[in-house]
Amino acid sequence: MNISQNCIDLIKKWESFIEKAAFCPAGVLSIGYGTTFYPDGSKISAGDTTTKEEAEGFLLLSAQKFAETVAKAVTIDLTQNQFDAVTSFVYNIGEGAFLKSTLLKELNLNKIEVAANEFLRWDKITKSNGEKVSLKGLTDRRNEEKALFLNNISQATQILLREIPTQESVTWMEGFSENGKNVVVAYGGSKVVEIAVLESSGKKDLIDLLNQYTGGNYHTAPNDKKIPDGERVLIKRREILAVKSTPAITKAASLNIEANSPTPKSYLRLVKTKEKDQHGCYVLRLNYYENNILVDFINVCSGSPRSQFFRKGVNSKAGSMEPIPEGIWRVEDIKWAKGRDDWSGSYGSGIGAASVPLTYISPGKTARSAIEGHEDFNRRTYPGTAGCIGFYTRDNFKKFITEWLRKTNPRELICDWGLGSV
């Protein structure tokens, strides 16, 4: 069972949106809609910022994780309204408190009315002196959760369950050495989930990779054991990916790629590689064409490290935190937080000093919005984006603006994941 939109709306109503990390009345540092941990498990830090689009993604991912907790812990059948109310409750008090709560105990005894009254016991915060006091906002929230829990009349439709990312499906890992490089085979039981090859042999890089996987132990394979067959993913550090590089490609080869575009034009094309950065985002290649000839590219990322699912525009859902969906996009005018070429400004989020909005054109329509191109400004605290195109460094983003956009004013971005819609 999973939550409905009613649960999301209830949480958003009572959490409210906070752009910059702040302490809630209970003294916990949070951001967005009550998010206290990023999807990768790292804590929110003072000074962290977010956008509404990103915050909604955090909310959806967290709510669905808490929904999984409720589904496992509750042993009786719940109505949709009951499930939504309990998930909103757990989102607020936390998994540990819920699993120890009398509400859960009474619920599993099928004492619905008794369990409903338990909501109201959780309207207090603990002051610095240890005194517990009721908070009106919490009291009102508990009353609304209780009302939804007891509402047997209207039942909403479930939101589709999120796909389990590669990192969360791993149960154990095995390390190999091949030609001086570390190779990590991640398993889900006996099945190979991912074969990662680290470009660097550094210990920190290995630790960063292992930290991406949420479960299981790491073992060093025997010297005589063969690495399993399968597609490999090359892991590169962002510092390497950010180095400027111009592809050596012939005019004939470029025109062959764009054989169906006889009219000379300048445009952008975004494609996926078989590489990942050290945080788990696929390396995407933003190609720049002048008169249908590929003249340059920049490595970029898109989406949350735990939401690296690539979809067509019509299949991509709002708040998914997934990469920009496949389709044709219009490149809009550059926006500046302060003024043209003033890099000291900031939008107060992960966007940075400037942004290039992108508008979905075709095929069909997409539920995704607020997609932009910008520097991955908060990459040190939360790498990746909510679906925007993230540039690894400011230098790369400056190059994008000054050497591409201002030179030929390309207005078309073809986002091509190989799914057949463009």
Which residues have a catalytic role annotated? 15, 24
120 contacts 135 by C-beta, under 8 angstroms: no
The DSSP symbol for 303 reads S
How far apart CA 89 and CA 119 sit, in angstroms, is 8
Q: Which two tokens stand for residue 295?
A: 């003249």
The DSSP symbol for 315 reads G
pLDDT at 161: 59
pLDDT tens-digit profile, the chain (422 residues): 889 989 999 999 999 899 888 888 777 889 899 998 877 667 888 878 888 878 888 898 889 889 999 999 999 999 999 999 999 999 999 999 999 999 999 999 999 999 999 999 999 987 777 788 888 999 999 999 999 999 988 777 777 656 778 888 899 999 999 988 999 999 999 999 999 999 887 788 888 888 888 778 999 999 999 999 999 999 988 777 766 554 544 443 443 444 444 566 899 999 999 999 988 999 999 999 999 999 999 999 999 888 999 999 999 988 788 999 999 999 999 999 899 999 988 876 668 899 999 999 999 999 898 899 999 876 666 788 889 999 999 999 999 999 999 999 999 999 999 999 99
How far apart CA 242 and CA 343 sit, in angstroms, is 19
pTM of the entire predicted model: 0.73
pLDDT at 363: 96
Q: Which two tokens stand for residue 422?
A: 């463009």
Sketch out the chain's domains with CATH numbers: 5-150 (1.10.530.40), 166-235 (no CATH), 238-416 (2.40.440.10)
